[in-house]
Structure formats: structure tokens, C-alpha cells
Structure 1
Amino acid sequence: AAVEAAIARAKARKQEQQAGSEPAEAVDPRKAAVEAAIARAKARKQEQQTGSEPAEPVDPRKAAVEAAIARAKARKQEQQAGSEPAEPADPRKAAVAAAIARVQAKKAAQQQVVNED
């Protein structure tokens, strides 16, 4: 339903832009605003008729939060799917990664020696 709502809003914006791109004689800003509001209302009405769920007014903050949550879930799922470290394709990057791993192992060994004393 959210996707359909977004599509309907995009279509309404596109209609507004097309209506604005047509040559008009002496465009009254109030008249243009009224036409835009009518187009948005028609888009909302069409959205409500096509959606099986009752459409709620779209709060931009809620939509942004939902989008951020969806991105975070997608990132988490991607990380879980690719949990094995991928080998860098560049040989220099592989060498740097190996050097970093050696340094980290050396530091860990030194920490163990210090902790045992």
C-alpha cells in the first residue's frame, strides 16, 4: 500500500509539472495552487480506492523513519548473508589487510604476555 501511495503521489506531481509546462496566458498563482491542490486530492482519492487498506495521511517524518528502518533491515540482512570476510580483489588491498591482521595479532600476543605477568 505504501508503494502504491508513493506511485500515486509521483503521478500527481508529474501531472502538476506537465500542467505547469503547458503555455498558459497570465497564470494566476492562486489558481495554480488550487489546481495543484485538486490534483493532489484526486491522487489521494484514487490511492484510497485502489488500496485495500484504509489510507492514512502520510506524515513525512513517519515515512522517513520507515524508510530508514527498511534500509537498516536491508543492511543487517546483507551483513548476515555476507558474514564471511570477502577477499579484496586488489592485491595491494589484500597485502594491507594481511599486514593489519599481523599487527593486530602481535598486539594481542603482547597483551596476553602483559596480563600474565
Structure 2
Amino acid sequence: MSEIYAKAVFCFFIAFGVVMGGALLAGMGAVFAWLPPKDEMLKVATNLKIWALVAAVGGTIDPIRVIESNVMEGHISIAVRQIAFILFAFLGAHMGTELIQWMCRSGR
């Protein structure tokens, strides 16, 4: 059980880190490019959300194949576990996006 928990935590934090890191670095890049950092950070955080999810669950189509093949063979618990990892990654990416939005709003 601890292996499943550890992978779920990693999925969450990898997705969270991709969004946060990408948005913060985009803000730094915007400063160097003489663009408003707030606008760029918000745009990048929103656009990175799906890529953070993909990076957290493996970066390929394999998680979807795992779900499909195990459901067809009747191994529902493995498919549910993979769906849970995707949900944890989505939650991490969404929380990263919400945090960036909150940071950009608090300066007004």
C-alpha cells in the first residue's frame, strides 16, 4: 500500500511542480522581455496544466493502455489505481494553477 501512496504523492507534486516552475520561470522571462509578468504567468499556468498531467503520469499513452487492457481482462483494481494516479496528477496541476492565480491576484 505504501508504494501506491508514494506514487500518488509523486504524481501530485510532479504536476504541481511543473505548473509552478513553468509559470514562475515564465514570469522571470517576461521581465527580461519587458512584458507584464502577471499576464504571462497566468497564461503559462493555464497552458501547462495538461502537460503537467502528462508528465506526472508517465509522459506517454501507456497509462491509458493500462486502463484499457486491464478493464478488458477484468482487472478493475489496477485500472482504478491508474485512474487515481491521473486524478492525483490533475489535482496537483489544478492546485498549482490556482496558486499562481492567487499570487497574481494578491498584488492588485
TM-score (norm 2): 0.40
User: Whose RCO is larger (CA < 8 A, sep 6+)?
Assistant: 2
Larger Rg: 1
More helix by share: 2
TM-score (norm 1): 0.38
